Structure 1
Amino acid sequence: MDEVDRSILAVLEQNGRISNNELAARVGLSPSPCLRRVRQLEEAGVIRGYRALIDPAAVGRSLRVFAGVRLVRHTRADVIAFERGIIQLPEVIACHHITGNFDYLLQVEVADLPAYEDFHANQLAALPGVATVTSYVTMKTLSPAPHGSGEVRQ
């Protein structure tokens, strides 16, 4: 991977729907070599996919909670059972197996606090092997602006 590939990736991270002609112009290539490089990055698994970023509030998920989960035991069977259960829950946007005070850190999106209470009590705490759940309600989310702009978006 060279600097041109890194430039392609930086542009695609900001706008995955950019046309190949515009992408080529931004990275200083003609369209055919640019498209060839993008396809090579896709085939190599560097580019894993393209997706739409959805406003959670617009689809009824205006409350974001980060939940630290600690398991009772760390046997392979317990970990597998928990992971199989957690990936089935549509409220869980991301699940990270981490080190530190928790075994997992979850990003959960729901409509409101009563919906999170229901999710916590009836789904999350009911998963196999869950010992404790510590919840952190998000008050505001800041997103970094495009590289080098020096601004922060809310």
Structure 2
Amino acid sequence: MIELDRIDRAILAAIQQDGRLPVAKLAERVGLSETPCARRLKRLEGEGYIDGYRAMLSRKALQLGVVAFAQVRFSVHDRAVSDRFEREIQGISRIVSCHNISGTADYLLQVVARDLDEYGIFIRDVLRTLPGVTAVESMLSLREVKRDGGLPLP
């Protein structure tokens, strides 16, 4: 990986804001002509600065009114059990993010659901039945103050 210059950072900031920005507009925004801009974009993709592109969907439009953060605890810290837990959650679409954390819990999950009833059923029938899980503590989001706006650029 090479050192990012001012233009590389400007390209990354612009596409983080709008991943569908055409190269012509991107080039204009960062002060380059199209060909060098396209080359830089391709290089940034190739060097792994850009993991991929995706759309940010509306929870409201999809009627996912509950966002919860669930702290998951294990009583036994066995690598095989943790690996199995991590593999199984990959296929659960309601879990939108999962972090292995330090502290009193082992994992922090972000979960979405239509309503509290659906979330409760998910906790009872899915989350608590996963390998290794002995306790789940939920925190409900009352209001999203800041949505994932991308990573800070040095």
Give the TM-score normalised by the residue count of structure 2. 0.90
The number of equivalent residue pairs is 147
Deviations 1:88-133 (A, max 9, x none): 2111011111112211110100100000000000000000100111
Q: CA deviation at 1:74?
A: 1.6
Q: CA deviation at 1:32?
A: 0.5
Alignment of 1:82-121 (within 5 A): 82-121=85-124
* Residue from 19, 22, 42 that aligns with 1:19: 22
Q: Match of 2:129, SS?
A: coil
Higher RCO by CA contacts (8 Å cutoff, separation 6 or greater): 2
Deviations 1:43-88 (A, max 9, x none): 1111011101001121131111010111122211011111112112
Q: Match of 1:56, SS?
A: coil
RMSD over aligned CA atoms reads 1.7
2:33 paired with 1:30? yes
**Could you say which residue in structure 2 is the equivalent of 1:143?**
146
* Residue from 8, 14, 20 that aligns with 2:11: 8
Q: Match of 1:141, SS?
A: coil
2:128 paired with 1:125? yes
**Could you say which residue in structure 2 is the equivalent of 1:80?**
83
Task: Sort the Cα spacing of 1:145 and 1:117 in 2 relative to 1 into closer, same or farther, 3 A.
Answer: closer
| Counterpart AA for 1:92 | I
* Residue from 55, 78, 99 that aligns with 1:52: 55
Percent identity at matched positions? Answer: 41
**Could you say which residue in structure 2 is the equivalent of 1:151?**
none
| Counterpart AA for 1:48 | D
Runs of 4+ in structure 1 off by over 2 angstroms are 143-147
2:64 paired with 1:61? yes
Give the TM-score normalised by the residue count of structure 1. 0.90
Q: CA deviation at 1:35?
A: 0.5
Distance in 1 of aligned mates of 2:129 and 2:19: 38
